[in-house]
Amino acid sequence: MEYFIQQMINGVTLGSIYGLIAIGYTMVFGIIGMVNFAHGDVFMLSTFIALIFLMALTQILGIGSLAVALFVVLIAGMLLTSLWAWAIERLAYRPLRGSFRLAPLISAIGMSIFLSNLVQVTQGPRNKPVPSILSDVIMLSSGVDGYAVTLSYKQILIVVVTIVLLVAFWYVVQKTALGRAQRACEQDRRMAALLGIDVDRTISLTFVMGAALAAVAGLMFMIYYGVVHFNDGFVPGVKAFTAAVLGGIGSLPGAVLGGLLIGLIETLWSAYFSIDYKDVATFSILVVTLVFLPSGLLGRPDVEKV
Amino acid sequence: MAVDAAEPPRTALRPLAVLKDALGTALLALGLAVPILALRTEQNISNELILQPRWNYVAIAVLAAFMARLLYLLVPALPRRRKASRKAGPRVTGRAISVAGLVLLVAYPLLALALVGQGGAIKWIDNFGIQILIYIMLGWGLNIVVGLAGLLDLGYVAFYAVGAYSYALLATSDPVKAFMAEWLGPNFWPLWAFWICLPVAGLMAAFWGILLGFPVLRLRGDYLAIVTLAFGEIIRLVLINWVPVTNGYAGITSIPRPTFFGLPFNASDSGFAAFFGLPFTPLYRTIFLFYVILALALLTNWVTLRLRRLPVGRAWEALREDEIACRALGINTTNTKLTAFAIGAGFGGFAGSFFAARQGFISPESFTFMESAIVVAIVVLGGMGSQIGVAIAAIAMIGGTEILRELDWLKRVFGPDFEPTHYRMLLFGLAMVLLMIWRPRGLVAFRQPSIFLRERRAVRADMVREGHG
């Protein structure tokens, strides 16, 4: 039982990270119907930005307070990752809007290859071990058979930050003019343009918001795993995409729900079956969902039009 | 260009505005470069991460962005000649290019031999010739699925892997060896394994094509792409983790090399060189491999061209244009899709088994998603459905990245630490994006419709999609 609770805690932590990345996929798909293949690599880039900023702050500027450092890293990471996403959208996707269906997807795959190799070239191909931070744990219960359930400060931080950001994000999408413009573009881009919404700007801001959340996920990922690598974009990217699909692509609560489910499934699968095949399990969920439940758990069914 | 079309024509050039625009780009480049370029994370001796400042790189990047934007804004404003002969181009040259290309390909090994001599020729035939031909073949195979049937398959490498592992496992398996040794003598299997396993590997891959095709029949577009990607990854992960059979990451070694129809390419008395009374050199094997893959690729091309004239080929093209109309016309979309998957996968399997035989060693590392992405990029950049376009794209993309291996003189410019090969995939990704923006419909966007009512017309691919032609 203790073992199970521990796995649930780990799963929710991992699921929060996937959920944050998944929102980027689901929003972009919702608004322009495109799988933003480079999103996983934007996430990977953000882990590096977070790492470099954290080290610059602690080593070069010598900031002692970890809380201040993390906060600055979070804000700077969100801004710079957003800038990257904005530039990518402007350069690689916007010229292809209105082109045929595969063109943006190929461009996105090219961007994904470019980003991961850019980081490899500029930062080197090795694993980067991150100086461990926030590794203290709280004992929740010490089991009878000596197995203790622990909750680390990292995990608390990850879940709390995720919840706070989701609430803020929810507010933006539901209550502000930007959110209304986004939802309008999602329903009918041409009509939205006729009503005076700057569609290009709204789409850019969608990419920017997705990237900002991915940057948060990047910082959390770096803290949680303690190691970053240039190739870390692909697999978490596909898993987050799986989360978005599982929750119903285009649906924001669905992305979070999907992220939590994927996190839990992956953790429990590794704990009870086989750690080697955990990625196979996730990919299988992707296949099964798309084949049998294409609209996901919370998505709207897709009507085939002639 | 797509970008230009959207903007109003610039009649007068305003220098101040251009400068401002370019400065903005430089500022953006600064913002992009600062986090990732300015400080490099390095491990010191005690394995701790330290930061190395490299602000000079940032300066170069910013300057490059500034100049690139300036050029981009200035070049279209310069007066230039109108290209008058543009419309008449593709109709005349299509066939001529094919014939010339074919002649060049057949003569290529001899040409390489004549130009750079024996020592250099192996490298040019192997790294360039064979490597490019493998990708041309994969591109043509995938072209059946993506270009003709319009099913975007991002997991094509799975069938390449199935082909490679089928050959490798069959050729090195002890029971098969023992069985063959008992029935046909000890020398038979090592000499003939490749030629017997080649069709078997193709069939295996085709079988897997059908197997993986079944669940995805209902899916289209991006969803289909993602599911096929997942299948490709699942197969690779199984190859990694199923250690008792596939030997995991370590891969399979000492796979028998192909023979000249029973004559091995070695220095022994029964070898190819001795049989024909020639001095032994490893060159013969390379040249022979070149012609094998050339024949396989041409077979793929020929089968594709013939299939396009059969009802099933017509059904593929109809399916690509409009699936619902297809169903309304009574075309069995299930069978149509499955045949496309199976035939495309079969050729992937042939290529895979050739790859295993050429390398003599395979591991799951060779079958990553990157390979699928490269092949898809070749097909789409070539202009979906165009055989010549795929070949040109493969030569441009694979040859272009291979040529980086030859650019050692760059070390003299950028210092001895500069390794051009590290930038291979970086430039590949960038080229994919830029080519897509430059020509979203691929290099050869003209396509002869394979069936037409009255007159033969060359139609742009986008018009075909809209229902003309």
Q: Domain-by-domain residue ranges, chain B?
A: 2-75, 100-466
pLDDT for A252 equals 85
Task: Report the distance separating Cα B369 and Cα B374, nearest Å.
Answer: 9
pLDDT in tens, A18-38: 999 999 898 888 888 888 889
- For residue B394, count other CB atoms closer than 10 A to its CB: 28
Chain A interface includes B422 (CB < 8 A): yes
Q: Is the dihedral of CA A225, A230, A236, A241 positive or negative?
A: positive
Assembly ipTM: 0.86
Instruction: Decide if A106 and B229 are in contact by the 8 Å CB cutoff.
Output: no
- CA-wise closest residue to B448 among B68, B5, B98, B33: B98
Asked if A142 and A3 count as a contact pair (C-beta separation under 8 A), the reply is no
- CB of B316 within 8 A of CB of B340? yes
Spell out which residues of chain B touch residue A281, defining contact as CB-CB under 8 Å: none
Q: Yes or no: say if B317 and B338 are a contact pair by the CB < 8 Å rule.
A: no
Which phi and psi angles does A138 have, rounded to 5°? Answer: -110, 130
3-state SS string for B219-243: CCHHHHHHHHHHHHHHHHHHHHHCH
Burial of A59 (0-12, 13-18, 19+ CB in 10 A): middle
Among the residue ranges A89-93, A208-212, B259-263, the one predicted with the least confidence is: B259-263
In contact, A116 and A44? CB cutoff 8 Å: yes
Look at domain B100-466 and name its CATH class.
mainly alpha
What pLDDT, on the 0 to 100 scale, is given for residue B85? 44
Looking at residue A290, its pLDDT comes to 83
Instruction: Decide if pLDDT at A190 tops 80.
Output: yes
Residue ranges of chain B with per-residue pLDDT less than 50: 1-9, 11, 83-90, 466-469
Determine the pLDDT at residue B88: 44
Res A143: pLDDT: 60
Token pair 């002969």: residue: B85
- A5 pLDDT band, cuts 50/70/90, is confident
Q: Is A241 on the interface with B (CB under 8 A)?
A: yes
Residue B330 gets which letter from DSSP? T
Chain B residues with CB under 8 Å of A107 CB are 432-433, 436-437
Residue ranges of domains in chain A: 2-231
Which stretch, A83-92, A289-298, B18-27, has highest mean pLDDT?
Answer: A83-92
Angle (CA) A75 A235 A257, round 5°: 70
Query: Are B437 and A128 an interchain contact pair (Cβ–Cβ within 8 Å)?
Result: no
Which of B460, B450, B463 is CA-nearest to residue B318? B450
* Residue A35 at interface with chain B, using a CB cutoff of 8 Å: yes
Tokens encoding B208: 């897997």
User: By the CB < 8 Å criterion, does A287 face chain B?
Assistant: yes
Q: How many CB pairs under 8 A join A and B?
A: 187
Strands (E), B306-420: none
CA-based nearest residue to A112, from A78, A82, A85, A77? A85
B241 Cβ under 8 Å from any chain A Cβ: yes
Q: Is residue A104 very low, low, confident or very high in pLDDT (cuts 50, 70, 90)?
A: confident
Q: Do A106 and B219 touch (CB under 8 A)?
A: no
Question: What pLDDT was estimated at residue B248?
Answer: 83
Nearest to B433 among A51, A53, A107 (CB): A107
pLDDT band at A125 (very low <50, low <70, confident <90, very high): confident
Contact (CB<8Å) A118/B215: no
B280 in contact with A, Cβ within 8 Å: no
Q: Does A48 touch chain B (CB under 8 A)?
A: yes
Residues with Cβ within 8 Å of A249's Cβ and at least 6 positions away in sequence, in order, are: A25, A26, A29, A30, A296, A299
Residue B42: both structure tokens together: 């390095």
Q: Identify which has the larger pLDDT, A282 or B47.
A: A282
Query: What pTM was estimated for this model as a whole?
Result: 0.86
Q: Can you give the pLDDT at residue B7?
A: 47
Comparison of pLDDT for B318 and A296, the residue scoring more: B318
pLDDT at A1: 74
Closest Cα in chain B, distance from residue A203 (Å): 17
Q: Which of A117-131, A159-173, A210-224, B302-316 has the lowest mean pLDDT?
A: A117-131
Strands (E), B220-332: none
Higher pLDDT, A52 or B384: A52
Is A121's CB within 8 Å of B43's CB? no
A45 at interface of B, judged by CB pairs closer than 8 A = yes
| B positions 34-93 inside 8 Å of A (CB) | 34-37, 39-43, 47-51, 57
- If one compares A249 and B459, the residue with the highest pLDDT of the two is A249
